[in-house]
């Protein structure tokens, strides 16, 4: 069978109408959901909106809300074999002040995802949404949903009250490792709900300013995961840092390695250089890929982070900062490009063959036709 050519590691599937979630949500929470939605408040307004203006569905519905339209408008158009669905408008439930509400919403969303998206096409692979502010409940949800073979990772928002290496979160990592799933985090809710301000010195003024600085939260989480020994405790765990950028990582790795030489005795459980844990356990996604004036600089950065094993293509469809796989990766060296477009995600998510609905699936590599 043919191997995938493009796997998109960040595709946003939206809930078309709030009422669509009701069949999956306990009755006690119906009116709350209908009146308040995910309710994690705040946020910065983008002058051009977060959703692509050209991605409304055929009947004028919200971008990302129709699995069949998305197949045409995104997957077929760019020859994408698999998309990892990362949700939309509901990722931040972990920073809602009420953990009971967040727990039922996570479960309702996951059940809805299976019924609505997983059943629509085998190109869709799901992320199990969890509420990270209740790690015990999150671990249960992981065990419950991991039975579905189309759920290929765990996802939570990157906004948080606490840094992700801390022991409070370890039940989540334990459950993910037990089920053989990576844990991903996704930006967009920094500074909202009960999370800390998006910078250590408080709140940026504009969406522009806020969006520029999202990677600092990623630096903080990755640093914490390594230093707190998460990867010693859970040696099979992989963590996917979605949409947080790439170019900051060499800086962080070098700084951590340098400090480790002098300050190692504060983290005696670390057996290797911090950068080695990072390259083995952290995976990054491309979008929004950095666009330096001299594109050779991008290749240099990719080499510094060993992108041939750590970086996966993502488009962020249908969000405003969408990356077109044909254009966005053009500056990247050929040998790296195919690893980034498909191979790294194939290995991480175990997606070895193109799905049955792909045009490639009907012809074997020898030229014969499959039964």
Partner 1 sequence: MSSPTARYPVCKVEDLKSEGRIITTVKGVEVGIFSVGDRYYAWRNMCPHGAAPVCEGVVCGTRLPSLVYEYKYGREQEILRCPWHGWEFDLTTGRHLVDQDVKLRGYPVEVAEGQLYLVM
CA distance 105 to 114: 14
The correct pick among 47, 262, 268, 368 for binding partner 1 (CB under 8 A) is 47
Report the residue number, 63 or 191, with the smaller CB distance to partner 1: 63
CA distance 223 to 249: 10
Q: How far is the CB of 48 from partner 1 (least distance, A)?
A: 4
The correct pick among 12, 52, 186, 238 for binding partner 1 (CB under 8 A) is 52
Strand ranges inside the chain, DSSP E: 7-11, 82-85, 124-129, 151-157, 183-186, 239-241, 282-285, 311-312
Report the residue number, 164 or 317, with the smaller CB distance to partner 1: 317
Q: Which CA distances in Å does 201 have to 48, 71, 213, 216, 220?
A: 27, 43, 12, 12, 14
| CA end-to-end span of the chain | 12
Residue 257 burial (C-beta neighbours within 10 Å; 0-12, 13-18, 19+): middle
CB 114 within 8 A of CB 126: yes
Q: How far is the CB of 126 from partner 1 (least distance, A)?
A: 25
Report the residue number, 168 or 320, with the smaller CB distance to partner 1: 320
Report the residue number, 81 or 323, with the smaller CB distance to partner 1: 323
CB 84 within 8 A of CB 75: no
Q: How far is the CB of 49 from partner 1 (least distance, A)?
A: 9
Report the residue number, 240 or 328, with the smaller CB distance to partner 1: 328
Q: How far is the CB of 320 from partner 1 (least distance, A)?
A: 6
**82 DSSP β-pair partners:** 7
Q: Which of residues 307-326 bind partner 1 (CB under 8 A)?
A: 320-324, 326
Question: For partner 1, how many residues bind (rule: CB under 8 A)?
Answer: 14
- One character per residue 275-314, x = contact with partner 1 (rule: CB under 8 A): ----------------------------------------
- Going by C-alpha positions, the residue among 266, 271, 304, 305 that lies closest to residue 285 is 305
Q: Which of residues 328-367 bind partner 1 (CB under 8 A)?
A: 328
Query: Applying CB under 8 A, which residues contact partner 1?
Result: 47-48, 52-55, 320-324, 326-328
């Amino acid at each position: 069978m043919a191997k995938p050519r493009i796997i998109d590691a960040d595709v946003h599937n939206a809930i078309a109408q709030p009422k669509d979630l009701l069949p999956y949500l306990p009755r006690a929470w119906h009116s709350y959901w209908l009146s308040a939605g995910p309710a994690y408040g705040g946020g910065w307004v983008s002058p051009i909106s977060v959703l692509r203006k050209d991605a409304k569905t055929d009947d004028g519905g919200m971008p990302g809300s129709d699995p069949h339209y998305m197949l045409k408008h995104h997957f077929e158009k760019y020859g994408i074999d698999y998309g990892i669905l990362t949700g939309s408008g509901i990722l931040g439930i972990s920073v809602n002040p009420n953990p009971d509400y967040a727990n039922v919403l996570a479960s309702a969303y996951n059940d809805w995802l299976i019924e609505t998206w997983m059943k629509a096409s085998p190109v869709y692979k799901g992320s199990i949404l969890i509420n990270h502010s209740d790690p015990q409940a999150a671990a249960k949800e992981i065990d419950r949903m991991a039975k579905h073979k189309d759920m290929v990772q765990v996802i939570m928002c990157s906004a948080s009250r606490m840094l992700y290496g801390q022991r409070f979160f370890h039940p989540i990592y334990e459950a993910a490792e037990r089920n053989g799933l990576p844990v991903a985090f996704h930006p967009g809710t920094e500074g909202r709900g009960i999370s800390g301000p998006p910078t250590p010195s408080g709140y940026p003024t504009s969406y522009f300013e806020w969006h520029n600085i999202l990677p600092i939260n990623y630096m903080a989480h990755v640093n914490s995961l390594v230093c707190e020994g998460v990867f010693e405790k859970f040696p099979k765990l992989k963590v996917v840092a979605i949409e947080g950028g790439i170019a900051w990582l060499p800086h962080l790795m070098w700084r951590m390695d340098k400090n480790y030489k002098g300050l190692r005795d504060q983290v005696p459980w670390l057996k290797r250089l911090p950068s080695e844990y990072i390259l083995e356990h952290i995976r990054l996604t491309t979008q929004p890929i950095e666009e330096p004036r001299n594109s050779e600089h991008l290749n240099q950065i990719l080499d510094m982070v060993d992108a041939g094993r750590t970086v996966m293509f993502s488009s962020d469809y249908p969000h405003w900062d969408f990356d077109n796989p044909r254009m966005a990766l053009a500056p990247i060296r050929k040998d790296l490009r195919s690893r980034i477009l498909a191979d790294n995600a194939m290995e991480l998510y175990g997606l070895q063959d193109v799905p049955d609905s792909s045009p490639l699936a009907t012809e074997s590599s020898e030229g014969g036709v499959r039964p």
